[in-house]
Amino acid sequence: MCGIAIKCIGITKNFGNFKALDNINLEIQGGEIFGLLGPNGSGKTTLINSITGLSRPTQGNSYIYGIDSVANTNKARELLGMVPQETAIYMKLTGYENLAFHADYYNVSKKVKEQRIKEVLDIVQLYDRRNDRAGNYSGGMKRRLLLARAMLTNPNIIIMDEPTLGVDVQARNAIWNQILELKMQGKTILLTTNVMEEAEYLCDRLAIIDRGKLIEMDTPSNLKEKVGEGIIELEVSPHQKSLAESFNCFKSVKKVEDKNPQYLLTLLNEEKEDIIPDIISVVSENNLKILKISMREPSLNDVFLHFTGRKLRD
Ligand SMILES: Nc1ncnc2c1ncn2[C@@H]1O[C@H](COP(=O)(O)OP(=O)(O)OP(=O)(O)O)[C@@H](O)[C@H]1O
């Protein structure tokens, strides 16, 4: 479905005196994979709960394809599938029974129920294990069962709260592939994550969330471009504070950070290749020894640090 799938206007959420969300505005286009990237406690779950109508914002409104998700929660939810963070599964029921229960709850007609459950179990590769108790599934299998459940009613939008939380690399890759497959089918995906590799690999656009505020919103590559063209990591012996000032004089250096024992030099777009010999000269003029020097592309961690002054996972 094209158009604006999810829209938040001025979402603020207070818990007592604590402001968990502060005036969040965003628009997610149909067919996008959109990520909310932020550390633990930054407000990601609170925001998706506001979007799904699970929690009423103190101020502001969210719309799912134009339907107000608080005023018209049931109608908005018909367009949504939700993968919650907690393992909200009936552990004593089998995988199949969990889905059948959900299908009945959402009034999936008897005629299509069995076929649809088979389809979603096939997609998440749990069909062979359908008759095992969900309590005996691994962490990755439980998350895949939740994904199957979210897909059961074939919703246009799937919202996932930390889709790969606590799963191993193999299960993570399987979930990532399933998310990309959903995008190929034209679904809109909103996910939360504090894992930069996940955000980078999956998301068309990201909103950086920190302490309840939306700090920046763009594609991963544009966000990285906003930081700079490259990052040089330099370590010298002995570490000398005044060196940072010398690097600041280079015209292709945008910012120098002294993260003793390392200096981090963020580079501007031009002339970045020429800078390494200049750095080496300055170091040797000061009679210091280079222990390490390397240049790399900015990461989403650098983006987070740049915009918030903190690391994503401090
Ligand atoms: N029901 C509540 N009552 C009081 N404070 C709450 C409540 N729910 C969330 N908070 C607080 O709001 C802030 C945002 O929490 P939230 O769960 O949205 O963060 P998050 O970014 O999803 O974190 P995580 O990555 O750990 O899931 C936190 O400081 C949390 O303690």
Furthest C-alpha separation in the chain: 80
> Which ligand 1 atom sits closest to the C-alpha of 38?
21
pLDDT of residue 273: 66
Residue 27: give its domain's CATH number.
Answer: 3.40.50.300
| pLDDT per residue as tens digits for the range 116-172 | 999 899 888 899 999 999 999 988 889 899 989 999 988 999 999 998 888 888 888
Residue 292: give its domain's CATH number.
Answer: 3.30.70.260
Residue nearest to atom 17 of ligand 1 (CA): 45
Distance CA 92, CA 300 (A): 40
Over residues 214-242, mean pLDDT? 92
pTM of this structure: 0.87
Say which residue, 228 or 208, is predicted with more confidence.
208
Name, in order, each residue with C-beta under 8 angstroms of 37's C-beta and a sequence gap of 6 or more: 192, 193, 194, 196, 199, 203, 206, 207, 208, 209, 300, 304, 312
Say which residue, 19 or 84, is predicted with more confidence.
19
Q: Is residue 305 part of a domain?
A: no
Q: Is residue 306 part of a domain?
A: no
pLDDT of residue 224: 93
**Range of weakest confidence among 72-76, 82-86, 290-294:** 82-86
Residue nearest to atom 25 of ligand 1 (CA): 40
Structural domain total, the chain: 2
52 plus 27 within the same structural domain: yes
What percent of the chain is predicted at pLDDT more than 70?
97
Q: Is residue 140 part of a domain?
A: no
Q: Is residue 169 part of a domain?
A: yes
pLDDT of residue 274: 73
209 plus 252 within the same structural domain: no
Residue nearest to atom 6 of ligand 1 (CA): 15
Span from the CA of 11 to the centroid of ligand 1 (angstroms): 15
Spatial contact of 185 and 156, defined as CB atoms under 8 Å apart: no
Q: Is residue 260 part of a domain?
A: yes
Q: Is residue 100 part of a domain?
A: no
197 plus 282 within the same structural domain: no
Sheet holding 289-296, edge to edge: 253-259, 262-267, 230-237, 289-296
This complex has an ipTM of 0.96
12 plus 75 within the same structural domain: yes
> Which ligand 1 atom sits closest to the C-alpha of 85?
27
Q: Is residue 263 part of a domain?
A: yes
| pLDDT per residue as tens digits for the range 87-100 | 788 999 999 999 99
| pLDDT at position 12 over 80 | yes
Q: Which of 225, 172, 238 is nearest to 201 (CA)?
A: 172
Q: Is residue 183 part of a domain?
A: yes
164 plus 250 within the same structural domain: no
Span from the CA of 65 to the centroid of ligand 1 (angstroms): 26
- Structural domain of 251: 229-297
Ligand 1 probe mutation, 15, 52, 210, most atoms within 8 A of CB: 15
Residue after which a domain boundary falls, among 196, 219, 242: 219
